[in-house]
Structure 1
Amino acid sequence: MSKDQRASEVERRRQCRQTMSKEQSSTSTTNTGRNCLLSENGVHEDAILQHSCGGMTVRCEFCLSLNFSDEKPSDGKFTQCCSKGKVCPNDTHFPEYPAYLKRLMTNEDSDSKNFMKNIRSINSSFAFASMGANIASPSGYGPYCFRILGQVYHHTGTLHPSDGVSRKFAQLYILDTAEATSKRLAMPENQGCSERLMININNLMHEINELTKSYKMLHEVEKETQSEAAAKGIASTEVTMAIKYDCNSDPGRYNSPHVTEVAVIFRNEDGEPPFERDLVIHCKPDPNNPNATKMKQISILFPTLDAMTYPILFPHGEKGWGTDIALRLRDNSVLKNNTRQNVRTRVTQMQYYGFHLCEGHVQSYFKCRKVNSTVYCGFIFKNGGQSDKFH
């Protein structure tokens, strides 16, 4: 929009406000206490100003995201997408989104309708961690509102459930496809899910998800350890898995021969994880531990939390936001208008997700996928009162 057009629009809106102000003397107050401008035929809808941000046609000069023309700041550099070039979290490699899930989301598969209808329960069925919160939905009528009391927390459990408790979440990944699918479909929240759909997603997760491969390796090392202990007539040693906080760390730092892209498997003789920030998964609850039934809480700062909670969005088990993503240094063309360097040196969660959710990113995660899964998967985030917790 040119300066002349903008000035004309501002004048038009000013005249409309003046007209509305003069007619307020004839304002009629309804029994609900709301004021409405009335004419002989009703409300003056023409007097209501329509707000427009312009077309989404302007690209950011740093990250090439698409932005609304009227949201362009006075200096011409956008902040919502990449904070004027300071946010560029490209140190993490995002593999291309699976073609099968793309077809399901874009209504190009025969199971698309069933998938989108049950997408939240399907995601929970294949999740490695559960989200919990004290949900307090407001009373009365109106649009859906997700309201919580307190904080949102995430939990994960052991490889095997306690005695008398059914397997769920990550505990199902060590079973064969038929048994795992049967147990998932037996859950009340999955009664409407297609069996074929659940089998296909299960096979996909076993094929490409690094967390699935890690849990399977943990089970294999556990069985191997038990067999060796039985042959020697000794007690089996404890086997644990550490999901790495830093997926790019040197595998040699972990004194273990069993390493995947995202996790390390330990036996007692192998030692313990060298970093306290790693998430340790045990095979079984300790019956001698009074807190054995409690789940391990995952920090919101843990980089793999998104992949563990939303496997449909992050099917490869890839790393998400973490506290180790640095802000990029600004070049001289930016510094000439603002010479003061920011005190903050790391990318915040808001900056990270804002960057990836912006439309039109050439180098962003969802652009590489050719489909914005957060748009198509919107119902994943809707809580309809179902329980996502480990029991």
Structure 2
Amino acid sequence: MSHNKINNNLDANCVRKCRKRKYACLEERRLAKNFRRAKQNVIPSLDTVETQNVEGDPLKFIATTPDLLPDVPNCAFCDAKRIYSESPAFCCSLGEINLLSTETPFELVQLYLCNAENAEGFNNCVRSYNNMFAFTSMGVHCDKSFAKRNAGIYTFRVQGQVYHFIGQLTPSNHENPKNLQLYFFDTGHEFLNRMRISSKFKETLIEKMINILTVHLYANFFRSLNSIDNLHDYKITLQADPAIDQRVFNKPTVSQVAGIWLESDESEQYASQHIQVYPKDSQTQIIKHYFACYDPMQYPLIFPNGESGWHRKIQRLNQQQKKIYPRPTCNNETLYSIQNSTDKDYLIDIENQALEKNSTQRSTLSCREYYCYKLQIREIDKSFLLHTGRLLQQYIVDMYIKIETSWLDFFKTSNMQNRLRNEAYRGLLDSITHGCEMGADIGKHIVLPTSFIGGPRDMRRRYMDAITLVQRYGKPDIFLTMTSNPNWPEIKALCLSSDEIHNRPDLITRIFHAKLQVLKDELFKKDIFGHVIAYTYVIEFQKKGLPHAHFLLIFNQASKLFCPEAFDRVVSAELPDPQTQPYFLSLVVKHMMHGPCGLLNPSCPCMKKNSCKFNYPKDFSEYTKYGTNSYPI
């Protein structure tokens, strides 16, 4: 899924303050001073530009080895691997979250590592094997053109909402059993029923996975229903939020996740709060995203024991249960010293503020916090979740949609809509203005605030902030693009030998974010190109899943690029010297050279109507010169 983000170092409010000459901080004063200097239209001379090319110029330094991220110690509370620039509370909220990992059986681990006998091809079909043993069916619009290895790397990409459906226990007439029905109907021929699904499955692997999933709670429950007579007289329910404490070693039992009720029992209210499973003649039901069985019933090869997933009643650790470690502080956090304070009322106010801040904290885990903890890299982790290959891609996409669905459910609540004053958007004239002529087309208007990333108001706010920068400081001077490289040493160091790097989107994104922060430090703190007075950038994801960032940089007047000599200081269109810069040359040849195309390679992807759509080869230029309404040549 694509996700865009724009960050600005100056918003519209800051611009308005500068116009009124009301300076809230020294940064705004510096920006306003640079703007007044820019209004004088003073163009630096060539001598001024040449003085920047001194020995201390950071652009003169050419790396001979890959730049590695600084080492960061692991989390003191949960021992999670931390990447540079990640906050201390990123993994476990400073010890407030502690969940036990799922134990993956040794036989299943060997399949993921391709060490087991006849395990060849298992990782390429792991999603198909998982869907065959899943209790629920997955309804989603998947882009199958990216799920092929013959056209680039494998990428699981979906569009729209994801639904998990659960059907009846027995198949309809003349239908083969599938999903949940394979655990209940005709279990004596379960192996043959599974082999009928597809001819690409291996008999030895199916038999091995049937044996592995004998400990799965939901599999045991549905198989046990065969011993009950007159099953139509009972109600079968799956608990939406079982009373299982995931913070301690408390392996769930069948009675904690499911139950059977007589029709005559006074349990209508209880049954209505959970999932109903019917023996026959019933419509498929949707497993809600906040049900605890959402994960184990769809991903049995990730949760082979049937452990519950996220639900709304998972508690945080209290202060007595937390490990006591010195709490990390932020750069701008103010610490108050009791020894140096003499005002009693001042200390009481500080204490009351701290108590009020802690009292507003929720006692349960949010969906984002739960999966942020689960997807961390830990040496003591026994779940093997991060090494499940293509199944991990599907799992991450599914859980992200679950998180966004939770946010949307929160914004749809009446309290949130009242705070947004959505009654201003409910008028009949507004509906007619938007083209709604039929009463059935009006519906209920839901307002998404600017805090919902990707919403219409959020995108409009970011767009207006970016346009304000151009109105205030002029057009950008540099358009800079940063791409991600799956072969970064930091990524390879955290992957197993059996892992394919494109199947670790979590690791690629984290390393890219850390290197992006390093680039921002180089641009805005060390001023490697010049002093930046305003900037904006957007993070995008390619169709194949790799992130990249586009920057627009606006320099102050003294750092602007006005002549070819200034262009040559920033950009080089020549091949590096193979004798003095072999590493730099290898990077340029591998990543920055186009082609061959044209007559040398007519089948190149850039070829359209027997010519390169990027107009290669370009005209050779002996020296740098201005282009006509274009980039320098």
TM bucket by the smaller chain? 0.5 to 0.7
Of the three residues 202, 208, 216, the one matched with 2:210 is 202
For the Cα contact (< 8 Å) 1:130–1:155, is it kept in 2? yes
1:161 — aligned with what?
A: 171
Report whether the alignment pairs 1:317 with 2:268.
no
Report whether the alignment pairs 1:71 with 2:85.
yes
1:352 — aligned with what?
A: 370
1:199-240 per-position Cα deviation (integer Å, ceiling 9, x unaligned): 1211222x201101111222322xx126xxxxxxxxxx5333
For the Cα contact (< 8 Å) 2:385–2:392, is it kept in 1? no
Report whether the alignment pairs 1:281 with 2:286.
no
Report whether the alignment pairs 1:121 with 2:128.
yes
TM-score normalized by the length of structure 2: 0.43
Counterpart amino acid of residue 178 in structure 2: K
Unpaired runs of 5+ residues, structure 1, are: 1-13, 21-45, 227-236, 250-257, 286-291, 384-391
CA distance in 1, matches of 2:114, 2:171: 37
Counterpart amino acid of residue 98 in structure 1: P
1:368 — aligned with what?
A: 382
1:377 — aligned with what?
A: 389
1:60 — aligned with what?
A: 75
2:225 — aligned with what?
A: 218
Report whether the alignment pairs 1:307 with 2:302.
no
- How many residues are paired up? 298
For the Cα contact (< 8 Å) 1:137–1:148, is it kept in 2? no
1:289-318 per-position Cα deviation (integer Å, ceiling 9, x unaligned): xxx4x3100000011111000000001111
Distance 1:302 1:50, change over 3 A: same
User: Identity of counterpart residues, as a percentage?
Assistant: 23
Report whether the alignment pairs 1:343 with 2:361.
yes
1:326-337 to structure 2, matched below 5 A, reads 326-329=315-318, 333-334=326-327
CA distance in 1, matches of 2:254, 2:114: 38
Distance 1:185 1:138, change over 3 A: closer
Report whether the alignment pairs 1:270 with 2:265.
yes
CA distance in 2, matches of 1:119, 1:219: 29
For the Cα contact (< 8 Å) 1:136–1:147, is it kept in 2? yes
Counterpart amino acid of residue 311 in structure 1: P
1:79-124 per-position Cα deviation (integer Å, ceiling 9, x unaligned): 221122222235xxx5632121111112221122132232111111
Distance 1:145 1:193, change over 3 A: closer
1:38-187 to structure 2, matched below 5 A, reads 46=62, 52-55=68-71, 58-68=73-83, 70-71=84-85, 73=87, 78-90=88-100, 96-136=103-143, 144-175=154-185, 179-187=189-197
SS at match of 1:260: helix
1:197 deviates by 1.4
1:297 — aligned with what?
A: 286
1:131 deviates by 1.5
CA distance in 1, matches of 2:266, 2:174: 32
Distance 1:148 1:276, change over 3 A: same
For the Cα contact (< 8 Å) 2:238–2:276, is it kept in 1? yes
Counterpart amino acid of residue 194 in structure 2: R
TM-score normalized by the length of structure 1: 0.67
CA distance in 1, matches of 2:263, 2:157: 44
For the Cα contact (< 8 Å) 1:241–1:282, is it kept in 2? yes
Distance 1:176 1:166, change over 3 A: closer
Greater C-alpha radius of gyration? 2
Distance 1:66 1:380, change over 3 A: closer
Counterpart amino acid of residue 297 in structure 1: I
Distance 1:380 1:351, change over 3 A: closer
Counterpart amino acid of residue 60 in structure 1: C
Counterpart amino acid of residue 208 in structure 2: N
CA distance in 2, matches of 1:359, 1:148: 26
1:52-79 per-position Cα deviation (integer Å, ceiling 9, x unaligned): 4334x611111121223x3355xxxx12
Distance 1:157 1:117, change over 3 A: same
CA distance in 2, matches of 1:350, 1:146: 21
SS at match of 1:71: coil
CA distance in 1, matches of 2:260, 2:127: 31
Cα RMSD (Å) = 3.3
1:142-164 per-position Cα deviation (integer Å, ceiling 9, x unaligned): 65554433211111111112222
1:229-261 per-position Cα deviation (integer Å, ceiling 9, x unaligned): xxxxxxxx5333111123227xxxxxxxx9634
2:243 — aligned with what?
A: 248
1:322-348 per-position Cα deviation (integer Å, ceiling 9, x unaligned): 111123345785499593325333212
For the Cα contact (< 8 Å) 1:66–1:358, is it kept in 2? yes
SS at match of 2:309: coil
CA distance in 1, matches of 2:161, 2:57: 48
1:34 — aligned with what?
A: none
For the Cα contact (< 8 Å) 1:240–1:283, is it kept in 2? no
Counterpart amino acid of residue 88 in structure 1: N
Unpaired runs of 5+ residues, structure 2, are: 1-55, 245-252, 330-334, 336-352, 396-633
SS at match of 1:192: coil
For the Cα contact (< 8 Å) 1:82–1:88, is it kept in 2? yes
SS at match of 1:316: coil
CA distance in 2, matches of 1:144, 1:106: 18
Distance 1:119 1:144, change over 3 A: closer
